[in-house]
Amino acid sequence: ITGEPGPSVASELPLDILKERYAKGEITKEEFERMKKDLSAE
């Protein structure tokens, strides 16, 4: 959550959001891999 207004976040794909969070260091590599696997399973 960056606090920036606008619809840009809502239009992003979940995987893009996941990659962004990983790039920012908000999640670990293990969390990234697990969440990516969960997303691809849907």
**pTM (2 d.p.):** 0.64
pLDDT tens digit sequence for 2-36: 665 555 555 678 999 999 999 999 999 999 999 99
Tell me how far apart the alpha carbons of residues 25 and 32 are, in angstroms, rounded to a whole number: 10
Structural domain spans, the chain: 12-41
Q: Looking at this protein, which amino acid is placed at residue 2?
A: T
The predicted structure's pLDDT at residue 40: 85
Contact call for residues 35 and 27 (beta carbons, < 8 A): yes
Contact call for residues 34 and 17 (beta carbons, < 8 A): no
The predicted structure's pLDDT at residue 39: 87
The tokens for 42 are: 């849907």
